[in-house]
Amino acid sequence: MSLDGRVAVVLGATGWIGRAVCRELLDAGADVAMIARDAERLAEFRRELAAGDRALTVVADVTSPLDLDDARAATLHHFGHIDLVVVLAGVITGSAFEDGVPADWAEMIDVNLRGVLHATQILADPLLEGASAGRTVDLVLFGPVSQEDHAPQFAVFNAVSSAVSQLARTLRGEYGARGVRVHLIAPGFRRPDAAEKSSAADPRLGRSESAVTPEAMAAVVRLAAELPRGTNLAEVVLLPTGAGS
């Protein structure tokens, strides 16, 4: 299957996962509105893609409902409809819990939770409209990066991300009956062992051995969106092969 005729909105488009998702969706045939805060990075990424009118860039901050309203309006004006939303905007700060900085916690709550809530709510109307018109419609949210591992030094990040997981599960029940598929992807990592740490210079033991790659996450987003209507890839935990169960 392909995504020809689909219009995707990717929030957090210039991040390491967002860039891979945008490329994958364009390769699959979708038109993509790329949303991010940094205008220069957005412009540079659009030049790299060389996708012409199939790629739209909109500068917006997910913590600003007004920005998101403008992004939605710009996308609808350019493409006419929206039927796939991927919410990737977020920040991550790690430290031992007792050494945590409240300002860092506030930023993660502001961007990773409140921003996700704003983005999801503001883009819900075009998704629901598309579903009522009989189109295949998808909302993709990302859950805790280390949900299965409970990695130390990321307690607050994981707590906030777990709230997003609950949002996805609740919306799946609320919107599923109205034709909107809600997918939750939880990408994970494996702690490198001592031998890998001592061989960090060896490219065969690089990041891809201990973390799920952006390309793998993008492939799952595409897979979820390409499924036949009426089938929902509800939740996926992605782990590196060496991570075990």
Which residues share a beta bridge with 237?
A: 186
* Structure tokens belonging to residue 134: 């009989």
Q: Please give the structure tokens belonging to residue 230.
A: 């009426």
The pLDDT of residue 194 is above 60: no
Task: Tell me the pLDDT band of 189, cut-offs 50, 70 and 90.
Answer: low
Distance CA(233)–CA(223), nearest Å, equals: 8
**Average pLDDT of span 184-203:** 54
pLDDT tens sequence across 84-135: 999 997 777 777 788 888 888 888 898 889 999 999 999 999 999 999 999 9
* Count of other CB atoms within 10 angstroms of residue 131: 20
Arithmetic mean of pLDDT, 16-26: 96
How high is the pLDDT of residue 28? 97
Position 95 in a domain:
yes
Domain with residue 228: its CATH number is 3.40.50.720
Is position 1 within any domain? no
Asked if 67 and 58 touch (Cβ cutoff 8 Å), the reply is: no
Q: Is residue 2 part of a domain?
A: no
- Given this model, what pLDDT does residue 191 score? 47
Average pLDDT on 33-56 reads 95
The pLDDT value given to residue 151: 60
What does the block give as tokens for 222? 């595409």
7 closest CA partner among 228, 217, 225? 225
Structural domains in the chain (count): 1
Q: What is the mean pLDDT of residues 52-77?
A: 96
pLDDT cut 70: percent of the chain above it: 86
Flag whether 165 is in a domain.
Answer: yes
Considering only CA atoms, which of 29, 27, 30, 32 is closest in space to residue 13? Answer: 32
Q: For residue 13, what are its two tokens?
A: 């488009």
Rounded mean pLDDT of the chain?
86
pTM: 0.87
Cα separation, 131 vs 174, whole angstroms: 13
* Ranges 110-119, 150-159, 203-212, 215-224: which has the least confidence: 203-212
Q: How confident is the model at residue 150 (pLDDT cuts 50, 70, 90)?
A: low
Q: What is the rounded distance in angstroms from the CA atom of residue 27 to the CA atom of residue 47?
A: 16
Token look-up 């089938």 returns: 231
Q: Which two tokens stand for residue 218?
A: 């993008």
* Cα 208–chain centre separation: 19
Mean pLDDT value of segment 206-217: 72
More confidently predicted of 20 and 108: 20
- The fraction of the chain above a pLDDT of 90, given in percent, is 64
The pLDDT confidence band at residue 143, using thresholds 50, 70 and 90, is confident
Q: What's the confidence (pLDDT) of residue 146? A: 52
Rounded Cα distance between 44 and 85, Å, is: 22
Whether 30 is covered by a domain: the verdict is yes
